[in-house]
Amino acid sequence: MNQVATFIGLDLGSFKSAVAASNGRRTAVPSVLGWPSNEEAREKLGRDFVCGGELTKQAVPLDVIWPFRRGLQKVLDLSEMNFTPEAVEKHRDAARLIARHIISLTTPNPGSTIYGIVTTPGHTSLACKQALYDAVRDHVDAVMFVPEAFCIAFGAGQTDDCLVIDLGAGKIDICPLTDGYPAEHCQITLTHGCEHIESELVTQMKLAFPDVDLPQNAARQIKESVGCLPKPADTARARLNSATSSQEVDVTEPLRIACRKLIPTIVGAVREVIGKFEPTAQRRLLSNVLLTGAGSQLKGFPELLTAALVPVGESHITVVSDPVFGAATGALKLSMAMPLQYWEQVRVQQTLHAPVETARRAA
């Protein structure tokens, strides 16, 4: 390993971004950036922008952007997101500033060369990879792009005959690994992530208790603290506000409905993915399912998914022990395993296509 180089693994997530570095440092921050809304706010803030967790400490009005929410690729689709070109450029600026911020938190040694692997979601277009490249290129000496699912599996030491289900907040990726690297045509990305559970909970609560006000943040807190209520005897109560008072209500049934809303879609996607393989390979994939992402930490969700997969085939689900840093540490591990000659080649070429293909061959 190059003693003067710092290697990093970077996972730019919809709601949280994580980085792990070869100097032992790692951190995760919310994937959000805010600009002062006016000159008065700028003067009070004393700087041009704030990002990550610092936003919650500010009392000035800010224009807030989550550049990776719903996937950076969708930011680039003006027709789908109805963004103006100016708004797209604002998102790209935010992506660059967040990348600079989180990489700086690893505090590389002054003058050291920085080599990094950035994880990418399933079905990432060349335009999206270019946007990610633009976000990080000024902060690293060479960068490669590797599918997030492969980085997770590589970090866990399971890159053969493995089915990765990444339950992200903004999206869900389902990716089979049968020969060490995911085939693009075999992956599926679901555009509804686990944030859909809290949105559905708000809807179900409004139907059950029309007078009760349940903000999205409160729904997220209930979901994360209580979980999915997998057993019939499980119940849940929460204190919520109505127009006239605060009251404790039974949220059991609305929470059950909300948490199970995504399950059929995930099972259908798994069936479609493994259906592209012969029966023996299907059984191997189902016997080694890696569950990661924010949704994997919901109490009872792995049990619900295991039960729902029974009609597809017997499955064995392993929950990744560290979903926040799983992709970043896997990317770091891969970056340190890459021959230095590959990194030097990428550094010289300074193109997008070459880093992607170089990482694929070495992996």
Q: What is the pLDDT of residue 354?
A: 45
* Distance of alpha carbon 77 from alpha carbon 124, whole angstroms: 13
Neighbours of 104 (CB within 10 A): 11
Most confident stretch, 62-71, 124-133, 224-233, 279-288: 279-288
Least confident of 2-6, 254-258, 270-274, 351-355: 351-355
Residue 202's pLDDT band (boundaries 50, 70, 90)? very high
Q: How far apart are the first and last CA of the chain?
A: 17
User: Which residue is associated with the tokens 């700028």?
Assistant: 42
Q: Is 203 helix (H, G, I), strand (E, B) or coil?
A: helix
Domain 157-192+262-319 in this protein, CATH class: alpha beta
pLDDT higher than threshold 90 for residue 129: no
In whole angstroms, give the CA distance from residue 79 to residue 92.
17
In CATH, the number for domain 5-153+324-362 is 3.30.420.40
Average pLDDT over residues 192-220: 89
195-260 is a CATH 3.30.420.40 domain: yes
Q: In this predicted structure, what is the pLDDT of residue 363?
A: 44
Mean pLDDT for the stretch of residues 61-72: 77
Closest C-alpha to 31, from 99, 84, 117:
99
Return the pLDDT at 2.
46
Q: Which candidate, 8, 12, 11, 2, places its Cα nearest to that of 22? A: 8
> How deeply is 210 buried, as exposed, middle or buried, from its count of CB atoms within 10 A (0-12, 13-18, 19+)?
exposed
State the average pLDDT over residues 323-330. Answer: 93
Cα 241 from Cα 213, distance rounded (Å)? 6
**Spatial separation of the C-alpha atoms in residues 296 and 300, rounded to whole Å:** 9
Question: Averaged over 10-29, what is the pLDDT?
Answer: 93
Answer whether residue 207 shows pLDDT above 50.
Answer: yes
Spell out a b/e string for 241-257, using b for 16 or more CB atoms within 10 Å of the CB, else e: eeeeeeeebebeebbbb
Of 95, 283, 263, which Cα lies nearest the Cα of 190?
Answer: 263
91-106 confidence digits (pLDDT tens): 889 999 999 999 999 9
Least confident of 65-79, 121-135, 262-276, 295-309: 65-79
The CATH 3.30.420.40 domain(s) of the chain lie at 5-153+324-362, 157-192+262-319, 195-260
Q: Chain-wide mean pLDDT for the chain? A: 85
Can you list the positions of beta strands (E) in 1-153? Answer: 5-12, 16-21, 26-30, 33-36, 50-51, 62-65, 113-120, 142-147
